[in-house]
Structures are given as structure tokens and as C-alpha cells.
């Protein structure tokens, strides 16, 4: 009689046995804590997946218990809170700020990568033992990956994490290792958009869905961000003006329908009139016909506007020798530059709190020649 086949499992808790009556191999999993066996049937691959997942969850639970025990011991002995525990408290602070209207929900969620990076780097170490080197290591990882803007954001978030910790008395006054790190330098690589380039892209946009070219006109005529353009409704028009509450800053702007872009020879009133069609919709930019998950008359997502602009740009055949090609957002800068030449108050139009921010949009990054006046 042949000897029973031996199986090399290699997964903790998983084993098998052969039923002598049926000659079938059955798999089972032994819980490492209770010692109870759980039958997993005859499917070897399924049994291995279940056992692996069970071990993973047990490890996660053990780590969570370890964190809680470490925190309890630290608290009872008067030691500092751990980095992970403070991140949880900081997250609660962010939730309260969102509820109070101090920050946007998107701002709070945007801070999560930085918080996760702090937990990954420092975990159960006492918060007051986190060093500048630890923070620099986190920031340098993002810089090395070629995302300096994200590195700047992470640094900014971690500075705020330790400011809140100081306020809560979890670290000594003035203790802020993130503040001591050098702010990563992020060189702007995205190209500005010239009016001539805009016109060539617009030609391609007119060959696409009607709302593609309409979105470009609204972007140049209003100077607003893509999210605010996507959110525009016909009901936002009253007292002969288009009213906008900016998604990013909450700035409230009323743009007169008589606003005229001389470079296009078009007013806001005329542009909105172009957006009206037989489709019944509350949105100025809307689906003309059901397509994919979108239904006729529905609001267009800002991601959709961004992607379709990029497609029209690529179809134009335009090339840029350096940096990344201009995105939908670059129409905001072009709008500012065109209106400033007309003498329009672009700071109010763009909804900026400071003139210095508006001046950033006016910078063409060496795009155009500066003509010397005689």
C-alpha cells in the first residue's frame, strides 16, 4: 500500500489530513489562541487563502492591542502620548474643524497621507521623542519620488500636528521638529497657455461634445476654477449677474453678465446663451445625451472637463519643449492676463484675498516677449 502523500504547507495554523474511507484530503485551520480547529473543506487553494487572511487579521489585532497597551502604560506612568495616539486625536480635531466650518472636508481628507506617513515612521514611539530627522526622512521620501509639492504639503501638515500637540500640552512649548526641517523646493514645471494656443485647442474642442468648447469659453470668460465651472447653475443668475460661491475658498463672487472679453469678442451673457439648448437641465454645463453612467441633463464632473480639455489639447498637435503641457486650470491664468490688459479688477474676479496671489496668475513664466515701450 502506498504511503500517504505529505504536504508542505508553510502557513501557520493550516494543516491537512486524509480521510481513509474516501481517500480525500481535508484542510483545517487551528486558531492560535483558542486552539479550536476549523474545517476548510477539500479545496487547497481556498484553504490557504483563508488561513493566510486569518493570520493577517490576527496580526493586525495583536498590533492594535499592542498599541493600546503601550498607550495605557505610557499614560499610567505619566509618559508622553505616542505618535499614533496623537494622530488619532488630531484627526478628531480636524473633524470638529470641519463641523465648525473652519476647514473643508476635502482639506481634512487631504491631510491623511501625511498622518499615515507619521504613523508608519514613528508608530508607538512617544510623540516628544519624534525628531527632526524622522520628519526629514518622511519629507525626503516624497521629494525622492518626484512629488515636491506633496512633500511641501506633508511638511505643512506635520507642523500643524505638533502645533496642536503643544496646545494640548502633549509636548513641551515650542517643540516642533517639523518646523525645523527645510521646506522642499518645488519648481513649477507646468507650461502657461497663450491665447494663440488656446484658439488651436478650441478648434479641436468644437469637434467634440458641445460642452467641451462651452467649458473652455466659460473658463476664459469667468476666470473660475474647474470645480466652480462644473457647479454653475442657471438659477445662479439673478440681478443681471452670475453668482458663484467658490468651492476652494468659499469666496462669494457676483460676475456681471455684461463682462466682456475683448480678446474673444464675447460677453458672459452671450456665453451662457450658447450653453442653453433643448435639453432641460439646471446645470449650465450638462450632458447632452446619456453616455456611460451619465444621464441626459446631469451635471458634468470636473474630472470629465479636465480630461476632455487634455484630449482636445493633444489633438491640436501643439507641443511644449519643456515642462508639462498646460491643463484646464491654466485657462484661469490666461483669463487673468487678458482681463488685466483690459483694466478689469482681476483680484475680485478670481476671488483672491491678496493681490500677491493674483500676481502669480499674471506671471506668464517667460511665455511671451516683453516689448520695450519707446
d(CA 184, CA 150): 9
Could you confirm whether 339 is annotated as catalytic?
Answer: no
Could you confirm whether 182 is annotated as catalytic?
Answer: no
Spot the catalytic one: 111, 260, 337, 352: 352
Spot the catalytic one: 111, 225, 260, 313: 225
* Cα-to-chain-centroid distance, residue 91: 17
Query: In the block, which residue shows the cell 482681476?
Result: 346
Could you confirm whether 167 is annotated as catalytic?
Answer: no
Spot the catalytic one: 75, 207, 248, 273: 248
Could you confirm whether 361 is annotated as catalytic?
Answer: yes
Spot the catalytic one: 30, 329, 340, 367: 329
Q: Which residues are catalytic?
A: 225, 248, 329, 332, 352, 361
Amino acid at each position: 500500500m502506498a504511503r500517504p502523500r505529505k504536504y508542505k504547507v508553510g502557513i501557520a495554523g493550516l494543516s491537512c489530513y486524509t480521510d481513509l474511507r474516501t481517500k480525500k484530503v481535508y484542510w483545517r485551520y487551528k486558531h492560535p489562541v483558542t486552539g479550536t480547529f476549523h474545517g476548510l473543506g477539500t479545496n487547497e487553494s481556498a484553504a490557504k487563502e483563508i488561513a493566510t487572511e486569518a493570520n493577517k487579521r490576527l496580526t493586525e489585532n495583536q498590533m492594535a492591542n499592542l498599541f493600546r497597551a503601550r498607550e495605557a502604560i505610557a499614560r499610567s506612568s505619566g509618559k508622553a502620548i505616542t505618535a499614533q495616539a496623537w494622530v488619532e486625536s488630531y484627526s478628531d480635531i480636524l473633524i470638529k474643524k470641519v463641523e465648525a466650518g473652519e476647514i473643508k472636508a476635502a482639506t481634512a481628507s487631504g491631510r491623511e497621507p501625511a498622518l499615515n506617513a507619521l504613523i508608519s515612521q514613528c508608530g508607538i514611539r512617544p510623540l516628544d521623542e519624534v525628531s527632526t530627522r524622522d520628519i526629514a526622512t518622511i519629507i525626503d521620501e516624497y521629494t525622492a519620488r518626484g512629488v515636491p509639492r506633496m512633500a511641501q504639503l506633508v511638511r505643512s501638515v506635520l507642523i500643524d500636528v505638533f502645533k496642536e500637540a503643544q496646545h494640548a500640552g502633549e509636548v513641551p512649548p515650542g517643540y516642533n521638529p517639523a518646523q525645523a526641517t527645510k521646506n522642499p523646493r518645488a519648481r513649477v514645471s507646468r507650461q502657461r497657455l497663450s491665447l494663440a494656443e488656446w484658439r488651436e485647442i478650441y478648434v479641436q474642442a468644437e469637434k467634440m461634445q458641445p460642452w467641451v468648447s462651452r467649458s473652455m469659453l466659460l473658463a476664459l470668460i469667468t476666470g473660475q476654477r474647474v470645480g466652480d465651472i462644473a457647479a454653475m447653475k442657471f438659477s445662479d443668475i439673478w440681478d443681471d449677474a452670475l453668482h458663484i460661491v467658490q468651492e476652494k475658498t468659499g469666496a462669494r463672487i457676483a460676475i456681471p453678465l455684461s463682462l466682456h472679453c475683448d480678446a474673444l469678442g464675447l460677453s458672459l451673457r452671450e456665453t451662457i446663451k450658447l450653453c442653453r439648448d433643448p435639453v432641460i437641465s439646471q446645470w449650465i454645463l450638462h450632458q447632452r445625451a446619456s453616455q456611460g453612467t451619465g444621464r441626459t441633463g446631469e451635471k458634468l464632473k470636473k474630472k470629465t472637463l479636465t480630461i476632455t480639455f487634455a484630449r482636445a489639447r493633444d489633438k491640436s498637435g501643439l507641443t511644449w519643449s519643456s515642462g508639462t503641457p498646460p491643463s484646464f486650470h491654466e485657462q484661469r491664468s490666461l483669463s487673468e492676463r487678458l482681463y488685466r490688459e483690459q483694466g478689469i479688477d482681476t483680484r475680485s474676479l478670481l476671488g483672491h484675498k491678496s493681490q500677491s496671489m493674483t500676481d502669480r496668475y499674471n506671471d506668464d513664466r517667460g511665455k511671451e516677449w516683453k516689448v520695450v515701450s519707446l
